Amino acid sequence: MKIYENKGTRHYTPIFNDLKPFDVIEVSELLERDKKIDEYEYTFNIVPKKHRQNKQIPEFGKKVIYIEIPYEFINEWLESWTNDVCMSGKQEKPCRCYRCKHNDTHRTWKYVKSKIQNNEKWESGTSFEFPGSYNDYVTYLEKGIARPIYQHNNDWPKMGTHRLALTAITKSDVPVFFPYEDGEKIINGHFPFFKDESYNKLVINKNKVEFYINDNLVGILNKGK
């Protein structure tokens, strides 16, 4: 088991710079901060659709807790992102993986990560065709993440997997907002995106985050002083 420490998050804008890990804020404040992102006049390839994000925020409830997921944890354990893993026969809904959808333009996280580690460029179209394009990676590397991940439910990770991977691989902790409750909040693994198609469960309280892989405790992040 590892004890993780926050190393800092590289934000594209100053909107969230004042927040510290484990800060708790009202959902109304998060909504106002989110609206400011779209007021910036800049070209940024990866800003998830405004209306989808704003719709998700009220689903948090009353309060959210701001966590910066250590990039070391993500880089060690995350092996897949959205549409990589075939879920046929594992869920009631139709599988949307690139194989079942016959999507020849999709690039898996394993493929993209290997290119990054070997300092190689990859062909993957524009960010509108695939949110893991080479240009997107360069933006994360040079500028940082524009919109944090809004993990409004208990299924982890259900959205933001490209942001999760590309932020961490540039050695920046990943900013995520989770629903806040007194006591412990359990965020269950939703997709087997982690090493050897395993699941990641998070147990969060106001002072620490516990990281589980298939119910095995593999790391702890404590609130800094």
What own/partner pairs with CB < 8 Å and gap ≥ 24 does 99-108 have? 105/129, 105/130, 106/130, 107/132, 108/80, 108/81, 108/84
| Residue 37 and residue 145 in contact, taking contact as beta carbons nearer than 8 Å | no
Q: Which is it for strands 2-4 and 24-26: parallel, antiparallel or unpaired?
A: unpaired
- What's the mean per-residue pLDDT of the chain? 89
Give the model's confidence band at 47: pLDDT under 50 very low, under 70 low, under 90 confident, else very high.
low
CA-to-CA distance for 204 and 209, rounded, in angstroms? 5
3-class state of residue 161 by DSSP: helix
List of residues 6+ apart from 190 with CB closer than 8 A = 155, 156, 157, 158, 199
Tens digits of residue pLDDT in 135-150: 889 989 999 998 999 9
Q: What's the whole-model pTM score?
A: 0.92
Tens digits of residue pLDDT in 61-99: 899 999 999 999 999 999 999 999 999 888 888 999 999
Tokens of 96: 């949307």
